[in-house]
Amino acid sequence: ARSLDKLYNFADCSGLHLIFALNALRRNPNNSWNSSSALSLLKYSASKKYNISWELGNEPNNYRTMHGRAVNGSQLGKDYIQLKSLLQPIRIYSRASLYGPNIGRPRKNVIALLDGFMKVAGSTVDAVTWQHCYIDGRVVKVMDFLKTRLLDTLSDQIRKIQKVVNTYTPGKKIWLEGVVTTSAGGTNNLSDSYAAGFLWLNTLGMLANQGIDVVIRHSFFDHGYNHLVDQNFNPLP
């Protein structure tokens, strides 16, 4: 509760709107989502009259690799429907926005997951969310940030996401919810440097050109080397 209070107060004082991602990895024996802790959080948040939008999980395509538990697209869709049913009886959240599934780069397995999710729960979310990473942070060199071949990879990924989304919910909003220059938490002295600005500007331009009007920076603070400010809140180059 104290962590949520601090987070919400920061967003509120900054004139920002908070989207809170609930834990999707609390699972029942049949692999359905265990919503008990989420419901407690929702009730607390409602008691404080916090104006929050909601999401469930982060990069579900990586659950098997990182946590040893796989969740397919149709199951994730059912989980979102369950979350929607939790929100509706709570007056302050009966019309709260819901976003997802916050998938990673649209490789073959990720597209399959998105397809299953959209088939089951595409109408449940207010915007479809995904994340983009340009290059492997373990092997990147500074000149990679200027290669047009690398810059152009984003355009192809946008089209892949749009194709699946428009198959099930034509016209549904698509948001790029997380964009990083390099994976694995970023690369010291590169992802947090002036050089990374070229990839960021490329992202904004391509998304605007393709009609995607929301892009969220990943991360603001204290995660790897992709953040915008240092430990003393000084802006990075």
* Across 52-81, average pLDDT: 93
- What's the start-to-end Cα distance of the chain, in Å? 34
22: helix, strand or coil: strand
172's CB contacts (< 8 A; 6+ apart) are: 122, 125, 127, 128, 165, 166
Residues 6+ apart with CB under 8 A from 55: 19, 20, 21, 22, 98, 99, 100, 102, 129
- Which pTM value belongs to this model? 0.92
pLDDT one-digit tens code per residue, 101-151: 999 988 899 999 999 999 999 999 999 999 988 887 777 888 888 888 888
207 confidence band (pLDDT: 50, 70, 90): very high
Q: What's the rounded mean pLDDT across residues 20-27? A: 95
Return the higher-pLDDT residue of 184 and 22. 22
With left for phi above 0 and alpha for psi between -120 and 50, is residue 189 left, alpha or beta? left
- pLDDT greater than 90 at residue 3: yes
- The Cα 209–Cα 211 span in angstroms is 6
Average pLDDT of the chain, as a whole number: 91
Q: Per-residue confidence at 29, pLDDT binned at 50, 70, 90?
A: very high
Question: Residue 131: exposed, middle, or buried by beta-carbon count in 10 A (0-12, 13-18, 19+)?
Answer: buried
Per-residue pLDDT at 218? 75
Could you report the per-residue pLDDT of 163-187, keeping only the tens digit for each? 999 999 999 999 998 887 877 777 8
